[in-house]
Amino acid sequence: MDFFIKRFIQPNLAVMLSLLGFLPFPAFSATFTPSFTLLNLVFVFGLCLPIFIISFFLKVKSSFKLRYYVLLTISMLGLIYSITYVEFKHDITWLALSVVFMVSLYFVVVSRRIEPAINLAMTCNIVILILASAYILSVWYFPHLQLMWGVLSAIILIMSAVRIKFSSITFTSFLNRMLIHWSVIFYFSVIVYLQITNEISDHTFVGNSVICFTLVVILGCLTIVKDFTAAKKIEVQEVKNINKSDATLLEDASTNLPSQQQAMQSINNQFKNNSNDNFVVITFKPINFTQVNKVLGHHNSDILLLQLAYCLQKSVEDNKDLVNFNDEKSPIRIARLQGLHFLIVLQLKADENNSNVLIEQLCQNLMLAVPNAMSFKSFSLNFELTFGISFLDDYANSISQSISYSEDALLSAENNQLPFCYFDKKEVMYTEQHLLDMESLKNDITNDNLHWYVQPQARLSDRKLVGFELLVHWYNNNEKPLELPEFIDTAEHSGEIYLLTKQMITQAFKLILQLQRMSNYETVSIKLLSQYLLEPDLVSFIEKQIEIYNVPAKYLVIELPEKVVLSASEKAKSIIDELKSLNVNIGISDFTGSYESLRYIRKMTVHQVKIDCQHIGESADDSENAIVTALIDLTQKMNLPLIGTSINNKPTEQIFIFMGGELAQGTIIDKGIATDKINTWVETWNNLYNPTSKY
């Protein structure tokens, strides 16, 4: 009833009152005395109207078929009215309405759909409708009303019984109710027969008809209540199942600890209630647990992980300074994050001055809570914990962000082999600046705003040019120019490193063509600092540039750092082979003369190697000089050109020549020439050192 009041009466009170205003109530006239028929009309209408409204607004799938009850009500109102007030064709009118009422009763009884007997149901329904229609038409012409009514009512009763028989197989819980409905049909057929034979008065007939109608409506109301109650029970059960399922999902299956999602909900609730307190997020992990997975497998290692989680949980269970991720009766103060990471959150008062001492003491207590040797069958291991710590403050303005920061600190502690590490707030600023740098570099690469220049390579004995290295500068916010090794990581993170490499190759071919038009046939080298740039598409791109610029590929040198060559995958090595098949030369920079690098040089034809001569002459024991001298002798015996880089001053040049070095690159020759000025520079250089050259 509360539902009805809330959903219908309150918003539609004025409409209902206006409808009820059409009814003649005794209060409106002191002399008005309602008749028996009028009272029954008002009773039937007043009984059904609220039921119809409630059933209409209840969004519950029910066996209460509103259309049949509406037809029942209309036929009953017409029947009562026709008995008293209709004079023309009096018997025919009320009998026709009685037939409609009885047929409606039949459909109320058999309104449930019975899948095994659909064909039978359809047959019965069609027969009933045909007989009812035939009876209504026939009463106009045949006076034998008793016999015809007896035949029709008997057929309806028999078909109702058959339908009830089949319905009882599927709907056993509704059998008693259907039998009562059948009894009402039987009773109504009897009183109609008695009315036909004038055995009862009109008032008796109306009263008994209203009783039949009332019984059917009461049974309909019981159906509504039962279906509504059943639907609510199902809804409540579904909610319980969902909550149970959610609770299961929020719990980690391996350790029975709350998951990250459940922990974050608890922390958020605690933070809202105690926003003035300081919250410290601490993540930790057993750093040597990977060995357990390798030896025992993940299934068995979960048993040890469960033991570890239990010991740690018991050690902090009574620490009320830690956020509780469960109810107060059984507090759980440790949660499981992704992987082997665990989480605890320390809540400190705002006036707490020795927070670092409390944090480190808590970490020490957790370390001591780990058993000395945890074992599974014959396997045992001493676990070690490491911790990452962050504060929920202006830098970490959300729980999830603070957890991420503490995991960054945990990673730093693990890499530096520290027991615990605090998150450095400077890393936030560095990360933000790094993101800005990536965006800026991406725009500059896309818009081709990088500054290209070349550094010449020459033979020191006669200053004859032997090649050039193409280099690039990036001016970030008009600051000091950055060379490629200084912003290569930013380029990789921005996702534009491959586009940068293509631009470098294009610039190299432009430079080769430019030099050859001046009758200078020196090589141009470019440096690839990562093996991941060695993709099949790179070979196709270089091949395309060879066709576009129509220059021999042998004048292009792809330089690879020695560590890149040694760590290259088989795929990368096959790409190198494809480059060589195009006659592209391969060079090795940062050459150290290691055994692995020498093996590689022996297997593959390398055009040149480079060694860094920046520190020769600086060491007091001349160890650096000895290494460089040995490398020079080695490459000369292998007939492999060696270029000394970072030859930036006269003393370094003299030492390099004394060691036997011949080819050099550095500021002693030139610190760098813009690509658009290379023609002028080459002409000037040749005029100074090789005046017989033709341009």
- The CATH number of the domain holding residue 494 is 3.20.20.450
Q: Do both 523 and 605 map to the same domain? A: yes
Do 221 and 286 sit in the same domain of this protein? Answer: no
- Whether 29 maps to a domain, the answer reads no
Asked whether residue 26 is assigned to any structural domain, the reply reads no
Same domain? For 420 and 454 the reply is: no
417 has pLDDT over 80:
yes
Q: Which of 359, 389, 424 delimits the end of a domain?
A: 424
The region of weakest confidence among 93-102, 238-247, 360-369, 656-665 is: 238-247
Bigger pLDDT: 162 vs 508: 508
Q: Which two tokens stand for residue 347?
A: 């809540």
Last residue of a domain, one of 396, 424, 452: 424
In a domain, 200, yes or no: yes
Say whether pLDDT at 27 is over 50: no
pLDDT at position 538 over 70: yes
pLDDT at 210: 86
Q: Are residues 204 and 306 in the same domain?
A: no
Examine the pLDDT at 455 and tell me if it is beyond 90: yes
- Is residue 192 in a domain? yes
pLDDT of residue 58: 63
Provide mean pLDDT across the span 554-565: 89
* % the chain with pLDDT above 70: 79
pLDDT tens per residue across span 418-444: 888 988 777 665 566 777 788 888 888
- Do 376 and 501 fall within a single domain? no
252/414: higher pLDDT? 414
Mean pLDDT, rounded, for 586-608: 83
C-alpha 322/C-alpha 392 separation (Å) is: 14
Q: Please tell me whether residues 414 and 444 are part of one structural domain.
A: no
Pairing of strands 556-561, 523-527: parallel
- What's the pLDDT band for 3 if we cut at 50, 70, 90? very low
CB atoms within 10 A of CB 451: 14
Range 40-49 average pLDDT: 80
What mean pLDDT comes out for the span 251-262? 80
Instruction: Name the more confident of 495 and 368.
Output: 368
Identity at 477, one-letter amino acid code: N
Tell me what the mean pLDDT of segment 39-53 comes to.
Answer: 79
pLDDT band at 8 (very low <50, low <70, confident <90, very high): very low
> What pLDDT does 381 receive?
65
181 and 273 belong to one structural domain: no
Q: Count how many residues are written for the chain.
A: 695
Per-residue confidence band for 376, with pLDDT thresholds at 50, 70 and 90: low
Report the alpha-carbon distance of residue 153 to residue 79 in Å, rounded: 17
| Statement: residue 499 has pLDDT above 70 | yes
Same domain, 405 and 450: no
Q: How far apart are CA 639 and CA 648, in angstroms?
A: 26
Instruction: Report if residue 12 sits inside a domain.
Output: no
pLDDT at 571: 73
Residue 115 confidence (pLDDT) above 60: no
Tell me if 27 is assigned to some domain. Answer: no
The helix or strand, by DSSP H or E, that contains position 381, with its residue range, turns out to be: strand 379-381
Of 600, 608, 684, 595, the C-alpha closest to 645 is: 608
CATH code of 268's domain: 3.30.70.270
CA–CA separation, 338 and 257 (whole Å)? 12
Under the banding of pLDDT at 50, 70 and 90, the label for residue 645 is very high
Residue 200 vs residues 97, 162, 196, 213, 505: alpha-carbon distances, Å:
18, 31, 9, 18, 112
Type and span of the H or E element at 465: strand 464-474
Percent of the chain exceeding pLDDT 90 equals: 17
Is residue 473 within 8 Å of residue 450, measured between CB atoms? yes
pLDDT at 377: 61
3-state class (DSSP) for residue 223: helix
Least confident of 481-485, 610-614, 619-623: 619-623
Q: Is 401 helix (H, G, I), strand (E, B) or coil?
A: helix
Domain boundary among 424, 456, 477: 424
Q: Which stretches within 317-447 are classed as H helix?
A: 355-369, 399-415, 426-446
What pLDDT, on a 0 to 100 scale, did the predictor assign at position 541? 92
Q: What is the pLDDT of residues 307-346, one digit of tens each?
A: 888 888 888 888 888 988 887 678 888 998 888 889 999 8
Q: How far apart are CA 263 and CA 268, in angstroms?
A: 9
Counting the structural domains of the chain, the total is: 3
Query: How many whole angstroms separate alpha carbon 559 and alpha carbon 556?
Result: 10
Average pLDDT over residues 525-537: 82
Distance CA 379, CA 340 (A): 19
Residue 252 carries which side chain, given as an amino acid letter?
D
Over range 208-237, report the average pLDDT. Answer: 79
Q: Is the dihedral of CA 391, 396, 402, 404 positive or negative?
A: negative
Q: Is the pLDDT of residue 586 over 60?
A: yes
What's the pLDDT score for residue 431? 65
Domain assignment of residue 167, yes or no: yes
pLDDT band of 171, cuts 50, 70, 90? low
Lowest pLDDT segment from 115-129, 255-269, 361-375, 481-495? 115-129
Query: Above 80 in pLDDT, residue 642?
Result: yes
Q: What local confidence, expressed as pLDDT, does residue 468 receive? A: 95
Count CB-CB contacts under 10 A for residue 57.
11
Question: Domain span at residue 555?
Answer: 434-689
Q: Look at residue 615 in the predicted model and tell me its pLDDT.
A: 80
Q: Is the same domain home to 190 and 309? A: no
Is a pLDDT exceeding 50 seen at residue 368? Answer: yes
Q: Name residues whose C-beta falls within 8 Å of residue 259's C-beta, 6 or more positions apart in sequence.
A: 249, 250, 251, 252, 335, 336
Q: Best-predicted range by mean pLDDT among 58-62, 112-116, 294-298, 367-371?
A: 367-371
Please compute the mean of the pLDDT values over residues 145-159 and round it to a whole number. 77
Q: What is the pLDDT of residue 505?
A: 93
pLDDT at 157 over 90: no
Domain shared by 419 and 442, yes or no = no
**Does the residue 20 lie in any domain?**
no
pTM of the complete model: 0.51
Instruction: Tell me the sheet residues that pair with 348.
Output: 278
Examine the domain organization and report whether 93 and 176 are in the same domain. Answer: yes
Q: Does residue 517 sit in the same domain as residue 440?
A: yes
Mean pLDDT of the chain: 78
pLDDT tens digits for 83-98? 877 776 667 778 888 8
In DSSP terms, 379 is beta-bridged to: 376
